[in-house]
Amino acid sequence: MEDPFYLLDLYRKRVRIRIRILDENFYSKGSPGLSFEIENIGLTPTSIEPIVLFSGYLPRPQHNRDGKITLVRYDLAFDINDSLRILMPHTPVQFDATNGKCDGRELAPKLRFMFFKTYTFSFTRGRKHKVRLRSADRVQLSYLRYIYERLDFALRGARSLPESEPRESE
């Protein structure tokens, strides 16, 4: 090792990404879509892969007396529409992704009722980045919080979900 700061440079030049979900377009009659913003907060440029993977759980009641709810998993792939997918450092970029396949159109009415959604983004440099959301309220969860809430939901059902804040009436 010639350079004594080699490991420090590797650490400083790593790819770091910040992702924000702007809109989940699951409510229209067309193909389901997704709008999101990505910012590369690292020092080196990278680019995003053209596919965003989605997985979510749809609550389904079991047909027995105890009233338990099972979570049925659904997976979907969104294609990024933009051909210029490069992410320069410290520049936020907005993307739109859609699913034009038949299974996406059939699944679109169910998507708005999904819980524990996960979007997986892949990049040409660096690791995959996952964004975990609780439900349609789009509250982003950390990995441990996500696992805890899924387990709590499996054990206690809908009673485990946090109370929604009351809306002010005009």
- CATH T-level topology, domain 6-160: Immunoglobulin-like (2.60.40)
Torsions phi, psi for 142 (to 5 deg): -75, 170
Query: What pLDDT does residue 67 have?
Result: 59
Tell me the whole-structure pTM to 2 decimals: 0.82
Q: What angle is formed at CA 147 by the lines to CA 50 and CA 56, rounded to 5 degrees?
A: 45
Mean pLDDT of 12-20: 88
pLDDT tens, position by position, 69-108: 778 888 889 999 888 888 999 999 999 998 877 565 677 6
Kindly state the tokens that stand for 77.
Answer: 């792939």
Percent of the chain past pLDDT 90, that is, above it, reads 32
Query: What pLDDT does residue 170 have?
Result: 43
pLDDT tens, position by position, 130-140: 999 988 788 89
Query: What pLDDT does residue 130 have?
Result: 95
Query: What pLDDT does residue 108 have?
Result: 67
Range from 17-21, 61-65, 147-151 carrying the lowest mean pLDDT: 61-65
Name the average pLDDT for the chain.
82
Query: What pLDDT does residue 167 have?
Result: 46
Residue predicted with more confidence, 154 or 78: 78
Categorise residue 157: left if φ over 0, alpha if ψ from -120 to 50, beta otherwise.
left
Q: What angle is formed at CA 23 by the lines to CA 76 and CA 84, rounded to 5 degrees?
A: 75
Residue predicted with more confidence, 159 or 95: 95
Q: Is the dihedral of CA 139, 58, 80, 51 positive or negative?
A: positive
Q: Is the pLDDT of residue 113 over 90?
A: no
